[in-house]
Amino acid sequence: MAKGEPVTVETILIPDPGPGEAVVKVQACGVCHTDLHYREGGISDDFPFLLGHEAAGIVESVGDGVTDVAPGDFVILNWRAVCGHCRSCARGKPQYCFSTHNATQNMTLADGSELSPALGIGAFCEKTLVAAGQCTKVDPAAKPEAAGLLGCGVMAGLGAAMNTGEVGRGDSVAVFGCGGVGNAALEGARLAGAKTIIAVDIDDTKLGWAKEFGATHTINSTQEDPVEKIREFTDGNGADVTIDAIGLPEVYEQAFYARDLAGTVVLVGVPNPTMTVELPFIELFGRGGSLKSSWYGDCLPSRDFPMLIDLYLQGRLNLDGFVSETIAIDDVEEAFHKMERGEVLRSVVVI
Ligand SMILES: NC(=O)c1ccc[n+]([C@@H]2O[C@H](COP(=O)([O-])OP(=O)(O)OC[C@H]3O[C@@H](n4cnc5c(N)ncnc54)[C@H](O)[C@@H]3O)[C@@H](O)[C@H]2O)c1
Ligand SMILES: [Zn+2]
Ligand SMILES: [Zn+2]
């Protein structure tokens, strides 16, 4: 695969796992916007990439010194294998680890050229090599195509509400953008006990889906002013927590003004490097509260994945709803087009 060109299926070579590494037999892997960003050259120029990073599978073999997982374990792959000794880990906050790691050996094409695995995972393949810390063991009763989605976008949204936004019982929450990440934020708000859950999007189909993920109110922001409507739905006050799951300056401003005094704004959508936001300085002061950004939902995989899978198996977390379709590995290019046309929350490759 070269920059901007359609993806191709190739034979790859995977070394035996070295110290601290594991080889995982991939069962399912979701197609995420980040994979498309890689293919467009928006993340780095280290082509060829091995795409795919929202995956679940079975550990096949482990290298020396690996004790947390063993062959046969059902695992979700994560991109936050924490180091345990950086300044954030040392402060007891491994969910912000500043020095996460991946496998040290490389996977290659048959001609020996090194592959760059997306987010250090690379899981649109039968088997992949990762750092053992990237494997989080969960209850094998979960369907791989649903479980794997916790590995990226769904965790980002759930965690934006539950971890970063610290949504609590009885809170009001407004989520801007109801793609996979935004709907997961709605679901997270519901799980955390929010009373009023408001979904904002420009697409009525997405707003229809949002209701299935716990939205109590929906707003089409091409037809109504979302700030005014959110105030109306919250006794004139604004929401306790507002979440921008798009990453656009105009949406961030809406989220800023739609928030109650002393409330929290969470940015989980990823802006592009040319964007700027301008806000009256006095409003930043006068409204109090906090403006936070959420990377990977501030999750700690070893803490959050097994708990969320248990909630899923109890029927309390709707992970199946994110799986719009299951596809074969040859269909990833078509899945990118469906994603661009807004037709799916997630296409999931089943291997
Ligand atoms: N912070 C993280 O760790 C993390 C992790 C994964 C993804 N993300 C980011 O989250 C964002 C959302 O990802 P996704 O997969 O849900 O994307 P998506 O494209 O599926 O969803 C975006 C939604 O926003 C809506 N939208 C677009 N413009 C709008 C506007 N002006 N007002 C209201 N709604 C609007 C679209 O209709 C769509 O429903 C992306 O920026 C992605 O890169 C962040
Ligand atoms: Zn660390
Ligand atoms: Zn992703």
Domain boundaries, the chain: 12-151+318-350, 158-294
Q: Give the separation between CA 114 and CA 270, rounded to whole angstroms.
A: 28
- Reported as half-sphere exposure (CB side, CA atoms, 13 A), residue 175 has a value of 40
CA 29 distance to own-chain centroid: 13
Instruction: State the DSSP code for 84.
Output: S
Q: Give the separation between CA 8 and CA 129, rounded to whole angstroms.
A: 20
pLDDT < 50 stretches in the chain = none
pLDDT in tens, 104-148: 999 999 999 999 999 999 999 999 999 999 999 999 999 999 999
Q: Give the separation between CA 123 and CA 130, rounded to whole angstroms.
A: 10
Q: How much is the pTM?
A: 0.96
Type of residue at 53: H
Q: Give the separation between CA 231 and CA 149, rounded to whole angstroms.
A: 33
Separation of CA 139 and ligand 1 centre (Å): 29
Contact residues for 255 (Cβ-Cβ < 8 A; gap 6+)? 174, 176, 242, 243, 244, 265, 267
> In this structure, which residues have their CB less than 5 angstroms from ion ligand 3?
32, 34, 152-153
- Phi and psi at residue 317, to the nearest 5°: -125, 120
Cβ 269 vs Cβ 181: under 8 Å: yes
> In this structure, which residues have their CB less than 5 angstroms from ion ligand 2?
83, 86, 89, 97, 99
pLDDT in tens, 266-321: 999 999 889 999 999 999 999 999 999 999 999 999 999 999 999 999 999 999 99
Q: Which atom of ligand 1 is nearest to the CA of 247?
A: 41
Best of 53, 79, 246 for a ligand 1 pocket test (most atoms within 8 Å of beta carbon): 246
pLDDT at 273: 86
- Reported as half-sphere exposure (CB side, CA atoms, 13 A), residue 253 has a value of 11
Can you identify the CATH homologous superfamily of domain 12-151+318-350? Medium-chain alcohol dehydrogenases, catalytic domain (3.90.180.10)
Q: Give the separation between CA 5 and CA 170, rounded to whole angstroms.
A: 48
Type of residue at 45: D
Q: What residues does ligand 1 touch, defined as CB less than 6 Å away? A: 33, 152-153, 156, 176-182, 200-203, 206, 221, 245-248, 251, 268-270, 294-296, 342
- Residue that is written with structure tokens 């990453």 in the block: 247
The CATH class for the domain spanning 158-294 reads: alpha beta
The DSSP annotation for 148-205 comes to GGGGTHHHHHHHIIIIIS---TT-EEEEE--SHHHHHHHHHHHHTT-SEEEEEES-HH
